Amino acid sequence: MTARAVSIGTHLRRGVDAQPLILGLGVLTTCLLMARLLTEPRDLRLAVVGTALVLIVALSAVSPVPLLFGLVVWLTALGFLRRTLNVISPTPHADPLLLVAPVAFAILFMVAAKRGALHDRSRLASAVLVLNVLTVVGAFNPLQGSLSTGFAGLLFVLVPTLAFWIGRGLCDDRSIAIVLKLFAVLSLLAAAYGLEQTFAGFPSWDAAWIEAHRSDYLALAVHGVPRAFGSFSAPAEYVTFIAIGFIVWATFGVMPVLAPLAIGAIAILGVAIFYEGSRGVVLSTLVALAIMAGARAGVRLKWSVGLAAVLILGLPYVVGYFVTSNSGGYSSPFLARQVQGLQNPTNPASSSLRSHINLVRQGIHSAKVEPIGKGSGAVTLAGLKFGGGDSSTEADPSNAAVAWGLPGLLVYLVILIEALRRGYRFASLRRDWMAAAAIAIIVVTVPQWLNGGLYAVAFLPWLLLGWIDRNLMNRSAPARELD
């Protein structure tokens, strides 16, 4: 062996050149896969997946935290990418593009676990770990139809919760700040796309997707008019992402330097939220802002909850004072839907609140009938894809009851209470923009933390909870209770 070869081998063993070499090989492999992509349109999706996976492995070997930032961008563009690929290649029964993010989350979880994310657990962390175990065990439940349904269900339920351990083991203030700022910037781009869909019409790839799902996706349209969904896979994912961006910009708004920019961003995002037509997000955003304001003021949680209740109860009167419920006076069905639903939330003719409450009641009652639940895939899209049926109740507490029975419901309630308590305490102690944004995002995404179908959204509250839990566990001085 030559001296030069010995020198190269020594450098690699020492780790001096290993990372650039891995990244270089990843880029080279990616170029080869892209060449394959251009020559074989039938294999387009597999080429994209292969390219993404190579980059994920290469980037994780160099530095795992930037992989998290790339995931935010990837998940934001995932719906757009899937629809544009549908124009070029056949739509598969099970889209391999949905495997990219779970692989990345699994890698980040393993790195976080190696760095001690599972050690020194708080009550919240222990409850999340129990939920993870229930989710894995629930994948083998025969009542959900098949093992395929159970394993596919893990992609929708287990994967988002892995972000808790990633936040606990990998994320510091700097990385969380970058994630939140990415959401702020990307939400404006998403809102621009969504407003273009609302007022100018849908581009061909979006129109083709709408046509293919008109009959099996009733929430896609209001009075026959398709709702905006931006670059996402569903209107619910789009509007929740926009609401998160709204919250982050609202926390920026307290900084004098950023106030003019924040006001403009808030106006754009507010219009996008209102014209999407979802009343639930309007209400949850209002509650989140009230909780955030109370935390920054340092008042007890019960007073913030009281403020949120006053705002919610007073909203119908405010809406009724400024507008009329006459739908004929509105040029947009989304505007009419918002006004009618917010003004008369208990009227079944103008609001779906009662139907949602009934679904939740039925789901929770199912824990008595099926005490061990129907399985992890029963409340996800996997049930429809693999023949297990759709037992989703559209809310986390009842979905937990349906999937894992009484144990799942109890564990979820412990997580919910601990998350709100610890999140509010953390925001009250720190009183900075990141902590304020974190508690507001945790609130605005309730009760959709387990809805992995909201690909770009569901992981974020878990990530923030992990970061909060890590910070509170590391605090040496005892803090006064604020709840």
More confident residue, 23 or 318: 318
Question: Please, which residues have CB within 8 angstroms of residue 450's CB and are 6 or more apart in sequence?
Answer: 157, 160, 161, 379, 396, 399, 400, 412, 458
Q: What would the pLDDT profile of 383-432 be if each residue is shown by its tens digit?
A: 667 665 667 888 899 999 999 999 999 999 999 999 999 999 999 999 89
CB 482 within 8 Å of CB 428? yes
Q: Is residue 206 part of a domain?
A: yes
Q: What would the pLDDT profile of 237-273 be if each residue is shown by its tens digit?
A: 999 999 999 999 999 877 777 888 899 999 999 999 9
Q: pLDDT confidence of 41, banded at 50, 70, 90?
A: low
Q: What would the pLDDT profile of 272-285 be if each residue is shown by its tens digit?
A: 998 887 888 888 99
For residue 423, what pLDDT is reported?
95
Q: Is residue 19 part of a domain?
A: no
DSSP character string of 120-188:
S--HHHHHHHHHHHHHHHHTT-GGGS-HHHHHHHHHHHHHHHHHHHHHHHT--HHHHHHHHHHHHHHHH
Rounded to an integer, what distance in angstroms lies between the CA atom of residue 169 and that of residue 112?
A: 4
For residue 289, what pLDDT is reported?
93
More confident residue, 127 or 142: 127
For residue 59, what pLDDT is reported?
78
Q: What would the pLDDT profile of 213-224 be if each residue is shown by its tens digit?
A: 776 666 677 777
DSSP character string of 2-32:
-HHHHHHHHHHHHTSSHHHHHHHHHHHHHHH
Give the phi and the psi of residue 403 in degrees, each rounded to 5. Answer: -75, -45
Q: Is residue 14 part of a domain?
A: no
Q: Which of 6-20, 45-59, 446-460 has the lowest mean pLDDT?
A: 6-20
CB 373 within 8 Å of CB 401? yes
Across residues 442-465, what is the average pLDDT?
A: 93
For residue 209, what pLDDT is reported?
86
For residue 54, what pLDDT is reported?
79
Q: pLDDT confidence of 452, banded at 50, 70, 90?
A: confident
Q: Is residue 383 part of a domain?
A: yes
In what helix (H) or strand (E) does residue 102 lie, and over which residues does it extend?
Answer: helix 100-114
For residue 216, what pLDDT is reported?
64
pTM: 0.88
Q: Is the pLDDT of residue 462 over 90?
A: yes
Q: Is residue 468 part of a domain?
A: yes
Q: What would the pLDDT profile of 4-38 be if each residue is shown by its tens digit?
A: 444 444 443 444 445 555 555 555 555 555 555 55
Across residues 61-74, what is the average pLDDT?
A: 89
For residue 17, what pLDDT is reported?
46
Q: Is residue 33 part of a domain?
A: no
SS3 label, residue 285: helix
Q: What would the pLDDT profile of 302-317 be if each residue is shown by its tens digit?
A: 898 898 888 888 887 8
Mean pLDDT of the chain: 83
The number of folded domains in the chain is 1
Residue 354: how many CB atoms within 10 A of its CB? 12
For residue 324, what pLDDT is reported?
55
For the chain, how big is the Rg over CA atoms in Å? 23
Q: Is residue 202 part of a domain?
A: yes
Q: Is residue 91 part of a domain?
A: no
Would the CA dihedral through 327, 333, 336, 342 be positive or negative?
positive
Across residues 176-194, what is the average pLDDT?
A: 96
For residue 129, what pLDDT is reported?
96
More confident residue, 112 or 335: 112
Across residues 455-474, what is the average pLDDT?
A: 94
For residue 5, what pLDDT is reported?
47
DSSP for residue 221? E
Pairing of strands 225-226, 221-222: antiparallel
Q: Is the pLDDT of residue 137 over 80?
A: yes
Q: What percent of the chain has pLDDT over 90?
A: 44
For residue 7, what pLDDT is reported?
46
For residue 350, what pLDDT is reported?
61
DSSP character string of 390-423:
----SSHHHHHHHHHHHHHHHHHHHHHHHHHHHH
Q: Domain range spanning residue 165?
A: 117-474
For residue 189, what pLDDT is reported?
96
Cα–Cα distances in angstroms (integers) from residue 11 to residues 16, 26, 27, 146, in the given order? 5, 20, 21, 50
For residue 330, what pLDDT is reported?
60
In what helix (H) or strand (E) does residue 194 lie, and over which residues does it extend?
Answer: helix 173-199
For residue 246, what pLDDT is reported?
96
